A and B are shown apart, each in its own frame.
Chain A
Amino acid sequence: MNQVDVLIVGYGPAGITAAIYAARKKLSVVLIGDLPGGEVRNSGDIENWPGDRATDGNTLADKLIAHLNDHTEDVTIVQDKVTNITKTGTLFTTTTESGKEFTSLTVIYATGRHPRMLGIPGEEEHKNLGVTYCATCDAPLFAGKNVAVIGGGNTGAEAVIMLQKIATHIYLLHDMEKLNADPILVANFEHDPNVTILYNTKTTSITGGTLVEGLKYQDKNTGKEEVLSVEGIFVTIGAIPNTDPVKNLVSLNKLNAIPADRYGVTEVPGFFAAGDVTDIRDAQIIVAAGHGCSAALSAGDYISRLPK
């Protein structure tokens, strides 16, 4: 393929918004992404996307893609995984898993994050065998079972809410004295007799045969090790930026995110970043979309200033 103006990596709200804005500026765009719609697909109910009141991840992802598809004259979509991006002179070269190579004047990197693992004994071998990182996907498989949700942020609270209708008893384990989740979410379950919130706990191992049978945790108040008998464990302890393909191109912060300003500008001229993959404070769909917009406008501005 010939050289394009803007190469966007990421098929979520940030990447899609960047593509729409770049297309409207009549820039030539290639968008490379793996999961159409991005991690949004795995969000359950969404009630904070203005204009939609109540929607869900799949519906919103479909709407974003339909809007993007209005611009296929200027945007070429490539479903693939990017493995490496390099810069030589003023040009970027992007390589994919299937061996494709693209050259571009700018890159907008908007690959989001992936769920963080606990890193404790028993976790890796029980992945998909009771340990899951996607309550939206897998909650229905735990009907009538006792389950644990690890992590008391918004994702954990949303997992508990999904499981309230499905599981028998839910333990929510949190490592501090107070949940981080928004009170409006916590209000859904804090008085539910089928939900036990265990504060100040540290999960130490996952146990079982082929399938999960339980977990061990340390009560940080007493120092004592306790055992829970559960068949499902939903891990919701945050997410790690997907920055592997660019770790030699741009410096990352200590959380592996790409430092970028509010306009998506990074330390590398022509390389812009947007959304959850950056050091932006709020991992929210609306913020990612807005950041993608700014990054596209920044890329357009950068291209217009390149020597002809």
Chain B
Amino acid sequence: MKVTIYTTKTCGYCKATKEFFAKHNIPYTEIDVSTDQAQARAMIERSGQMGVPVIIIGEKPNEQLIIGYDRDALAKALHIQL
């Protein structure tokens, strides 16, 4: 399943989410919006969110959007047993 995470360098919850992926061997693509304004705008448009982390799991039209470091929601979307 395709996993994309929008982050900023200083965001602790982004780091915690990435550690969660690593722990469960989930490959992901990271987009750092703190250094890329175009990507920041793209994230806001795509997710309607102005907070990080934003995680997108799967692909359109079945993609799932998860806001923040929410272990339960991540586990459910990725079919992980906690």
Contacts and interface: CB of A to CB of B under 8 A. Distances in A.
Interface string A116-138: 00000000000111101010111
Contacts of A232: 50
A57 to B, nearest CB: 6
A87 interface: no
| Most A C-beta atoms less than 10 A away, residue of B12, B19, B52 | B12
B13 interface: yes
Nearest to A100: B82
A129 B48 contact: yes
Contacts of B69: 35
| Most B C-beta atoms less than 10 A away, residue of A127, A141, A142 | A141
Contacts of B64: none
Given A36-B19, A141-B52, A41 B13 contact: yes
Contacts, number: 82
Interface residues of A, number: 34
B48 to A, nearest CB: 6
**SS class of chain A's interface: helix, strand, loop or mixed?**
mixed
Nearest to B10: A136
Contacts of A161: none
Contact of A141 (B14, B15, B40, B67): B40
Interface string A283-298: 0000000000000000
A137 B14 contact: yes
B49 interface: yes
Contact of A129 (B8, B13, B40, B49): B49
Contacts of B25: none
B37 interface: yes
Contact of A35 (B13, B35, B43, B50): B13
A42 B13 CA distance: 8
A230 interface: no
A245 interface: no
Interface in B44-71: 44, 48-52, 67-69, 71
4 smallest A-B Cβ distances: which pairs? A41-B12, A140-B34, A128-B51, A137-B11
Interface of B: 8, 10-16, 19, 33-35, 37, 40, 43-44, 48-52, 67-69, 71-72, 82
Interface of A: 34-37, 39-42, 44, 56-58, 61, 79, 97-98, 127-130, 132, 134, 136-144, 210-211, 232
14 contacts: A35-B13, A36-B19, A42-B11, A57-B12, A128-B50, A130-B50, A132-B50, A136-B11, A138-B8, A138-B11, A141-B33, A143-B37, A210-B48, A211-B48
